[in-house]
Amino acid sequence: MPIIISRNMRSQGKEDATISDGIVLVVQQSDEWRKLCQQIVVLTNAQQACFIFFATNTITVIASDHKPSIWSEDDYRQLLKENQFYQLLDKPKEPHNNYVAIPIKRGELTALLLLTYVNNQPAAPSFLSLKDEQTSLLDILALQGALLWQEQHWYGAAAHGFDNEERPVPEVSSGGLFKRLKQLFHQAPILVNAFDAQGRCILWNQACEKTFGWSRAEIKSHPSPFLLFYPDGEERQRMISALHTSNHSEFVEWRPFNRAGQRLTILWAHVSLPHGGALCVGHDISQQIQALNEQRLAANVFESSYDGIVISDPHHRITHINSAFTRITGFTPADIIGRSPYQPTHIVFESKFYLSLREQLKTQDYWHGELNGRRKNDEQCILRLAVTVVRDEKGQVVNHVTILSDITHLKQHENNLKHQAFHDSLTGIPNRLLFGELLERAITTNQRNQSQLAVCYLDLDGFKLVNDSFGHAAGDNLLIEVSQRLAAITRGCDAVARLGGDEFVLLFSGLNSKQECDSILQRVKKVICEPVILDEGVVTISASIGVALYPQDADEAELLLRYADQAMYQAKAQGKNDYVFFDVTLQQQARSATQRLEQLQEGFRRGEFLLHYQPAIDLKTQQVIRLEALLRWSHPELGLLAPADFLPVLNGSYLELELGLWVVKQILEQLQLWQAQGLTLTVSINVGTGQLLHKDFVNQFSQLLALYPSSFSRLLALEFQEKALLSDVQAAMAVLQCCRDLGVSTTLDNFGLGHASLNHLHQLPLDAIKIDRSFISDLLTNQRHVSLVQSVIQLAAALKLGVTAEGVEKHEQSDRLQELGCFQIQGYGVALPMPAEQVQEWLGVWERSDKRLGQVQAK
């Protein structure tokens, strides 16, 4: 049984170990080595075989039944010098034994094989009589062992002398070998370093300096350089333990830090040094690891990408596709790898696209765009492509990389949004925006063809009545039916659009004369007037149409539409159900209105507007119940103008809201002055339709009220006309409710003039109604008006609404109203409108008078 002597050597079988004089003796069951030793013992007639390991500067020989003896290292060096790897020792240290020393190696084991011959039995004859194959085997083992012994000896030299010029190093061969080894260590492209038993660095070559960033002097002067490489204590201890516990001829991956704080990935192998510590050889694979990680990442991105990826060779033959490409197109790798995607049986896109693409990629390395494609199941799709040319360092094309996204649903959604942006949501026909584009194109075409076109602005007569009588659903169905009828009579070069509400516009292109347009408009009137069958019943409507011609009236789209609109209002004014061609007088009227509005704006800026107040009284109590604020314009040339002289121009203009809010502010200021004088009065404010329905009215109105005492809101009443209800009932109701929530009362002015009042009266957030003056003026002579006024009074009583009669001028009218049940009146018979400074005087006169109408006026 051979005895294997080793320091820090891993065993590979069942073993027992004892410690003696710093050397661990391990008895190991190794079939290979046991058979080898037995074979050598038999072949050489030796009585014993054992392994000898290096210890310090001598070789300790340990035999199974002898005490350790010392064999000088000089003896073995002499053996090597003579290039003999086995021989009889001339001077055995024990008188009865001869020895043969053979260097050998097994795994990480470096040793001498020592053969013992008892009683000086000559071994040379039997030893030299070995068969050739056995001798060759022994020669090989001996040669390898000798070289490994030399390596071990050099390791010791390196550990004690390569980084120390003054320390003597034993020569193992020629005198220049050490210098060559030193140069090799320092200039080697691999990492070479060594550490002593205390963890201090004793070797640090140039590759280490470059990789880690610390110079040799810095590392060697540091008491514990492992602190630099492994700041984490547990990781550092694992590394130190690995160096002390075993040799690692196989490379192991470690991850130290460099000077810049970056994690490196190093493959380390090490061997233990004779005096403790280790000699380490390593290779920095950080870049390879990074490249590998990037490669893995690229592979993961390639396969996990939601977009399809296609890689093709320089000849556009597909080499790789990812799963997303298969999901998008349906083509599998078996379908398409090695093929061109435009082959007849594997068409993803049209071949003409690929031919064009290939030509473009010859001059540019990138292309992107959108195009129609086809899936494997022949389904059409829309794809967004980005193609990149990949070149090598010589500029030669290596690959083409194509990334494709399926944007079919996105395009469909985009088309839907475009359709919604350019088409009316209710009827599906073009809206104002699209009509403007169509009109611009038509003007260009007719200019080129020297033909005419007509823009026809159409407003339905009686639509409000249908909408209010049968509801919005019926009104919507009516609009849909009208749009279909209009679309049916248009040609390919014509267009029909809905501008909003019950307003439509028609474009007739390629006309030769005005008479041709007349003929078309007669057909339009006819199809509009045909009865419409709704779920709620059969209705009949008509249309008022204004027409502007190109190039006679204008050659710009905006002007044509504006002139047709002006002509449409003229058609309504002439009795509806007809069409009117634009003429210059309409343009002059529009220009006059614009100039008038500019004058209004200038007068407002100069402070020419003021308020007059007209009282309303209760006939029962003879008390003043409110004052109505009436706007006046003190024109520098025309004098004091009443609202009828300027409100028609103001209504619907940009100035209406601004001037209306100024009126509110003036009234609030006046209420504050009257309260200071001991007067608490209620004031009603006339609010135009455009002002009431403006999107900012409620917000700005409430902000004004917030600047004054909260009680002021209960002193205000908003008077609005039925026109606001006809424009947008729901919006008007919402605004009125907001005003009532602020504490402001609401009154419907001029009641009885509109046809939809009764339909909405019970739904409105109302406090009172005012009977229009036209029914009061002949109340004493017109029994029909008497009946109507009586009905209104009874309706107001049923709905618990206050009722005021306007335009009362005679006491006979007031008496008749009292008989009918109306006790609140307002008009010239009570008082003329007066400036604010005269109100207090008039109140005093009224209180002292006999309250007879027509007799009390302010001076």
**What is 2-20 written as a DSSP string?**
--EEESSPPP-SSEEEEEE
- In this structure, of 343-357, 560-574, 839-853, the range with the lowest mean pLDDT score is 343-357
User: In one letter, which amino acid is 698?
Assistant: V
The confidence band for 6, taking pLDDT boundaries of 50, 70 and 90, is very low
User: How much is the pLDDT for 341?
Assistant: 60
User: How much is the pLDDT for 345?
Assistant: 44
Class of the 610-848 domain? alpha beta
Q: What percent of the chain has pLDDT over 90?
A: 43
Residue 161 has pLDDT above 80, yes or no: no
Residue 241 has pLDDT above 70, yes or no: yes
User: How much is the pLDDT for 26?
Assistant: 29
70 and 61 in contact (C-beta within 8 Å)?
yes
User: How much is the pLDDT for 449?
Assistant: 92
Q: What is the distance, to the nearest Å, from the Cα of residue 240 to the centroid of all Cα atoms in its chain?
A: 51
- In this structure, of 61-65, 254-258, 796-800, the range with the lowest mean pLDDT score is 61-65
Helix (H, G, I), strand (E, B) or coil at 799: coil
Residue 278 has pLDDT above 60, yes or no: yes
User: How much is the pLDDT for 88?
Assistant: 42
Residue 848 has pLDDT above 80, yes or no: yes
As a whole number, mean pLDDT of residues 248-261 equals 85
Task: Tell the residue number behind the tokens 């170990």, with chain if given.
Answer: 17
User: How much is the pLDDT for 114?
Assistant: 57
617 and 631 in contact (C-beta within 8 Å)?
no
Class of the 188-289 domain? alpha beta
Which CA distances in Å does 377 have to 262, 300, 374, 708?
53, 28, 8, 74
CA distance 474 to 466: 7
Helix (H, G, I), strand (E, B) or coil at 709: coil
More confident: 184 or 130:
184
User: How much is the pLDDT for 760?
Assistant: 67
CA distance 522 to 342: 57
- In this structure, of 15-29, 499-513, 694-708, 740-754, the range with the lowest mean pLDDT score is 15-29
User: How much is the pLDDT for 30?
Assistant: 37
User: How much is the pLDDT for 491?
Assistant: 86
494 and 506 in contact (C-beta within 8 Å)?
yes
- In this structure, of 238-242, 243-247, 503-507, 688-692, the range with the lowest mean pLDDT score is 243-247
Residue 328 has pLDDT above 80, yes or no: yes
CA distance 279 to 188: 14
Residue 471 has pLDDT above 60, yes or no: yes
User: In one letter, which amino acid is 137?
Assistant: L
**What angle do the packed helices 132-157 and 73-81 form, to 10 degrees?**
120
The confidence band for 268, taking pLDDT boundaries of 50, 70 and 90, is confident
CA distance 822 to 317: 96
User: How much is the pLDDT for 63?
Assistant: 37
Q: What angle do CA 84, 90, 92 make, to 5 degrees?
A: 115
User: How much is the pLDDT for 343?
Assistant: 53
Residue 79 has pLDDT above 70, yes or no: no
Domain residue ranges in the chain? 4-156, 188-289, 306-412, 425-590, 610-848
Which CA distances in Å does 40 have to 135, 171, 329?
10, 32, 74
Residue 426 has pLDDT above 90, yes or no: yes
Q: Which residues pair with 834 in a beta bridge?
A: 613
Residue 70 has pLDDT above 90, yes or no: no
As a whole number, mean pLDDT of residues 468-486 equals 92
Residue 346 has pLDDT above 80, yes or no: no
Residue 457 has pLDDT above 60, yes or no: yes
Residue 148 has pLDDT above 90, yes or no: no
User: How much is the pLDDT for 129?
Assistant: 44
Superfamily of domain 306-412: PAS domain (3.30.450.20)
User: How much is the pLDDT for 146?
Assistant: 45
Residue 107 has pLDDT above 60, yes or no: no
Helix (H) or strand (E) holding 431: none
Residue 273 has pLDDT above 70, yes or no: yes
CATH fold match for the domains 4-156 and 188-289 = yes
The confidence band for 21, taking pLDDT boundaries of 50, 70 and 90, is very low
User: How much is the pLDDT for 342?
Assistant: 54
- In this structure, of 46-50, 170-174, 840-844, the range with the lowest mean pLDDT score is 170-174
User: How much is the pLDDT for 671?
Assistant: 96
User: How much is the pLDDT for 128?
Assistant: 40
User: How much is the pLDDT for 41?
Assistant: 65
Residue 641 has pLDDT above 50, yes or no: yes
Q: Which residues pair with 389 in a beta bridge?
A: 400
Which CA distances in Å does 472 have to 270, 465, 468, 479, 754?
91, 11, 7, 10, 19
Paired tokens of 31? 């079939």
The confidence band for 613, taking pLDDT boundaries of 50, 70 and 90, is very high
User: How much is the pLDDT for 89?
Assistant: 43
Residue 177 has pLDDT above 60, yes or no: no
User: How much is the pLDDT for 176?
Assistant: 46
Architecture of domain 4-156 in this structure: 2-Layer Sandwich (3.30)
Any long-range contacts for 157-163 (C-beta under 8 Å, 24+ apart)?
157/181, 158/185, 158/194, 158/203, 158/279, 159/194, 159/196, 159/202, 159/203, 159/273, 159/274, 159/275, 159/277, 159/279, 160/202, 160/275, 162/203, 163/202, 163/203, 163/204, 163/216, 163/220
User: How much is the pLDDT for 113?
Assistant: 57
User: How much is the pLDDT for 802?
Assistant: 94
More confident: 413 or 610:
610
Paired tokens of 700? 């700005």
As a whole number, mean pLDDT of residues 485-504 equals 92
93 and 70 in contact (C-beta within 8 Å)?
yes
User: How much is the pLDDT for 77?
Assistant: 53
CA distance 678 to 63: 134
The confidence band for 321, taking pLDDT boundaries of 50, 70 and 90, is very high
Spatial CA neighbour of 554 closest among 459, 458, 455: 455
49 and 115 in contact (C-beta within 8 Å)?
yes
Paired tokens of 428? 């599906």
More confident: 22 or 827:
827
| Mean of pLDDT over the chain | 79
CA distance 38 to 48: 9
Q: According to the per-residue pLDDT averaged within each range, which of 288-297, 535-544, 837-846 is highest?
A: 837-846
DSSP labels for 444-465? HHHHHHT-EEEEEEEEEETHHH
User: How much is the pLDDT for 281?
Assistant: 85
As a whole number, mean pLDDT of residues 474-499 equals 93
Residue 35 has pLDDT above 90, yes or no: no
CA distance 379 to 373: 8
As a whole number, mean pLDDT of residues 245-269 equals 84
CA distance 378 to 347: 10
User: How much is the pLDDT for 82?
Assistant: 47
801 and 824 in contact (C-beta within 8 Å)?
no
Task: Tell the residue number behind the tokens 């075993």, with chain if given.
Answer: 246
432 Cβ contact partners less than 8 Å away, ≥ 6 residues apart: 497, 499, 500, 505
DSSP labels for 461-476? ETHHHHHHHH-HHHHH
581 and 456 in contact (C-beta within 8 Å)?
no
User: How much is the pLDDT for 856?
Assistant: 55
Q: Which residues pair with 802 in a beta bridge?
A: 768
CA distance 592 to 604: 18
DSSP state at residue 241: H
DSSP state at residue 370: E
Q: Give the largest Cα separation in the chain, rounded.
A: 168
More confident: 814 or 178:
814
Paired tokens of 33? 């080595």
Spatial CA neighbour of 282 closest among 200, 208, 199: 208
The confidence band for 182, taking pLDDT boundaries of 50, 70 and 90, is low
Residue 179 has pLDDT above 80, yes or no: no
The CATH fold of domain 425-590: Alpha-Beta Plaits (3.30.70)
DSSP labels for 247-314? -EEEEEEE--B-TTS-B--EEEEEEE-TTSSEEEEEEE-HHHHHHHHHHHHHHHHHHH-SSEEEEE-T
Any long-range contacts for 473-480 (C-beta under 8 Å, 24+ apart)?
474/534, 474/535, 474/536, 474/539, 476/426, 477/534, 477/535, 478/532, 478/534, 478/539, 478/541, 479/426, 479/427, 480/426, 480/427
More confident: 56 or 825:
825
The dihedral region occupied by 25, where left means phi > 0, alpha psi between -120 and 50, and beta the remainder, is beta
Helix (H, G, I), strand (E, B) or coil at 194: strand
User: How much is the pLDDT for 664?
Assistant: 96
383 and 371 in contact (C-beta within 8 Å)?
yes
Strand 802-805 to 824-826 pairing: parallel
Q: What percent of the chain is helix, strand and coil (3-state, nearest 5)?
A: 45, 25, 30
